Amino acid sequence: MKKKKSGAVWMILPLYIFTIIFVAGPLLYMVALSFAQPKAGHGVEWIFTLENYKKILDPVYMQTFTGSFKLALTSTLFICLIGYPFGYFMAKLSDKWKKRAMIFLMLPFWVNSLIRLYGWMIILQTKGLLNHALKSLGLIDKPLRILYSYPAIVIGMTYVLLPFMILSVYSSAEKLDWSLVEAARDLGAKPFKAFWTVSFKLTLPGLLSGVILTFVPSMGLFFIADILGGNKIVLVGSLIQEQMTRGSNWPFAAALAVVLMILTTLMIMLYRKITNAKELEGVG
Amino acid sequence: MADTCLELKNIRKSFSKDETVLKEISLSIGKGEFITLLGSSGCGKTTTLRIIAGLEMPDSGQVFLDGRDVTALPPEARDVNTVFQNYALFPHMTVADNIGYGLKLRKVPKAEIKKRVSQMLELVQLPGYEKRKPSELSGGQRQRVAIARSLINNPKVLLLDEPLGALDLQLRRIMQLELKKLQKKLGITFIYITHDQEEAINMSDRIAVMNHGTFEQIGSPDEIYNHPKTSYVATFVGNANILKGKAEELEGDKVRVSLAGGSVLAAADGNTPAKAAPVTLAVRSENIVLDESCQRGLLAEVVEKSFAGGLLRVVLKLTDGTEVIASRYGIDASVQPGQNVTCFFEPENAVLVDVEKESGAES
């Protein structure tokens, strides 16, 4: 027995080595970097300092954090509002239509997301498709300035991250036993009440994991803000990227990244606590 | 029959163009009656139940509950509750929340709900199980919770869709007795679905045998078992042998029928088949007696002999190839496969079936 066990350890050793080299190593390097000092010009001086973290508390950078947080929250809200019903009703389709819906959902992934975002630029610009359509419908007189504005970023975020929410909700609604809804109706619940007390409660884990899957990346997806927001709105992601490249301040970029990582880890812990506390068994 | 509680009038239902699940069925069920819809899978019994519950809409026809037309009402507006085949307990709620679900919807005060939930748990013999989750219960316990959850709403009719299907044989027997007792005690109309003829006979006041979307026969267990009207009922409920022959002449209250390998007497039961008219006899296997001396009855050849739990089962072949199964308790028969014997049965054990069908075919 014992021999067998040690054999198993040898089998997974490559996995450990891989993880240490490619995951733990870089992470530790980044954490170490966040306590180092930037060298004037370029590079790093390995002298311990807390300066990088103190710098984050500067109102200018704090604002970047709160701004990113708000944007992530807004985008996630829209993603929930569109993605939940989409995923839920998709699970109710016949098998044939489920397959088709899945293909439609996956199709955009075949095209690079940057190219898709440039597509949105064409739609949203002042003389673009959206304004043209709204004008010919007589809804507006003057074209709206959507591109390079806050709404444009929200639209972009929603667009890019929506599939993750849909798939997450779908996979939990797919497992839902619809006879439970019938039982609720049979016991006297009106359709919405049956949905709220049974279907919604049982698909909540899917919704929550969808929130994690969309909220966490939307804190850091800088290229959407860059392309559709025209660099006017600085997010944590863009700030890190800027500090890494133009700012040449790697230690500060690392400190920002560490804080972002801690925030998202806290989010995930919170999610796990909520789902565990509710003891949503029978699902997932 | 006492007051009518539930009435189905000419219910028709099809899910696709080529397949009609229910063909204009009508049924009237009395107050406090225990009626079983018996049939093999796909005969339309579950669809019938779902139409009564309001989970399915009939294409045509009406459902009356206490004289009121409820055909168009959604399930939540009907005084009917269902015990689902898979129990359909809410996995995210405790036993108490499951059972109290219906009362909570009706905005019954919390203290009252608590009291009635514990009364219900008492009734289904699960006292003190309030805090458990469905996942912590055994199959039989879940079954009881599902029944309690339906009964707490005081429905006029309780629908049970193969409620014991997932339980093992011993537990089934216990639950059969308990359900029957519960029904007697509460006086609620039960509509019970099963494909198990033994279960149907044990529990029901009346049995409606379904086949291909119609009722083959509706009657008491005794009528269904001893006086089947059609060959389907005779084979499905009584595992009877079906013998096709021609009527010869009436002899008092009996009729002589000529079959392959001889002629037999059968109880006429009020039927007067014309001479040479085709008739079908149903004879249960335990009523067929073998005569090794080949003196009496129909000539046959023994094909197979087998034992199953103290029951001897002999497969015979009549001269025209019709298979006949004879069975009886005890394993003392000395017949061997390949041996020629005769088989006979008492006239009162031979029932004329499919009379309507055959007279209809003639006219």
What is the distance between the alpha carbons of residues A205 and A271, in angstroms, rounded to a whole number? 9
Q: Tell me the average pLDDT across A257-281.
A: 78
Amino acid at B70: V
The 3-state secondary structure of B73-88 reads CCHHHCCEEEECCCCC
Q: Is the pLDDT score of A165 beyond 60? A: yes
| pLDDT tens-place values along chain B, 363 residues long | 458 899 999 999 998 887 889 999 999 999 999 999 999 988 999 999 999 999 999 999 999 999 999 999 999 999 999 999 899 999 999 999 999 999 999 999 999 999 999 999 999 989 999 999 999 999 889 999 999 999 999 999 999 999 988 888 888 888 899 999 999 999 999 999 999 999 999 999 999 999 999 999 999 999 999 889 999 999 999 889 999 888 888 888 888 888 887 888 888 777 778 888 888 999 998 888 888 888 888 888 889 888 877 788 889 988 888 888 988 776 666 788 888 888 888 888 888 888 766 555 443
Q: Which residues on neighbouring strands pair with residue B8, listed in sequence order?
A: B27, B63
B245-264 burial: b if 16+ Cβ within 10 Å, else e: bebbeeeeebbbbebbbbeb
Which of A175, A177, A181, A186 to mutate to probe the B interface, most B CBs <10 Å? A186
Tell me the C-alpha distance between B197 and B176, whole Å.
13
Q: In Å, what is the CA distance from A38 to each residue of A6, A143, A151, A243, A248?
A: 46, 47, 36, 11, 8
Contact by Cβ (8 Å): A258, A31: yes
DSSP codes, A79-108: HHHHHHHHHHHHHHS-HHHHHHHHHHHHGG
Q: Which residues of B touch A198 (CB under 8 A)?
A: 90
Residues 6+ apart with CB under 8 A from B87: B134, B142, B143, B145, B146
Q: What is the pLDDT of residues B241-285, one digit of tens each?
A: 999 888 888 888 888 888 887 888 888 777 778 888 888 999 998
Could you report the per-residue pLDDT of A196-214, keeping only the tens digit for each? 999 999 999 899 989 988 9
Nearest-by-CA chain A residue for B159: A186
Which among A9, A33, A201, A271 is positioned nearest to B101, based on CA atoms?
A201
CA atoms of A147 and A153, how far apart (whole Å): 8
What would the pLDDT profile of A121-139 be if each residue is shown by its tens digit? 888 888 888 888 888 888 8
In this predicted structure, what is the pLDDT of residue B50? 94
Residues in chain A: 284
What is B1-36 written as a DSSP string?
Answer: --SEEEEEEEEEEESSSS-EEEEEEEEEEETT-EEE
Average pLDDT, integer, range A156-184: 93
pLDDT, tens digit, for every residue of A51-77? 899 998 999 889 888 888 899 999 999
Model pLDDT, residue B361: 46
Euclidean distance between the first and the last CA atom of chain A, given in angstroms as a whole number: 33
Strand partners, B305: B314
Rounded distance, CA A161 to CA A217, Å? 8
Question: For residues B277 and B245, what is the distance between their CA atoms, to the nearest angstrom?
Answer: 9
Facing residue for A281 by CB, picked from B54, B106, B133: B133
pLDDT at A114: 84
Would you state the pLDDT for residue B146?
95
* Extended beta strands in B84-182, E state: 157-161
Q: How far apart are CA B277 and CA B266, in angstroms?
A: 14
**Interface probe, candidates B78, B79, B92, chain A, greatest A C-beta count within 10 A:** B92
Q: Predicted confidence band at A246 (pLDDT cuts at 50, 70, 90)?
A: confident
Q: Please give the single-letter amino acid code of residue A118.
A: Y
Whole-structure pTM value: 0.81
Chain A residues whose CB is inside 8 A of the B151 CB are: none
Using a CB-CB distance cutoff of 8 angstroms, which residues of chain A are in contact with residue B90? 180, 183-184, 198
What pLDDT sits at residue B358?
58
Q: Which tokens hold the place of B216? A: 């083959």
Q: What is the ipTM of this complex?
A: 0.83
B21-49: pLDDT as tens digits: 999 999 999 999 999 999 998 899 999 99
pLDDT score at B134:
93
Secondary structure (3-state) at B100: helix
What's the pLDDT at B339? Answer: 86
Q: Is there a contact between B95 and B138 (Cβ–Cβ < 8 Å)?
A: no
B55 contacts A186? CB cut-off 8 A:
yes
List the single residue in A187, A190, A282 with the smallest CB-CB distance to B153.
A187
Residues in chain B: 363
Nearest to B209 by CA among B35, B20, B28: B35
Quote the pLDDT of residue B332. Answer: 63
B38: part of which helix (H) or strand (E)?
strand B34-38
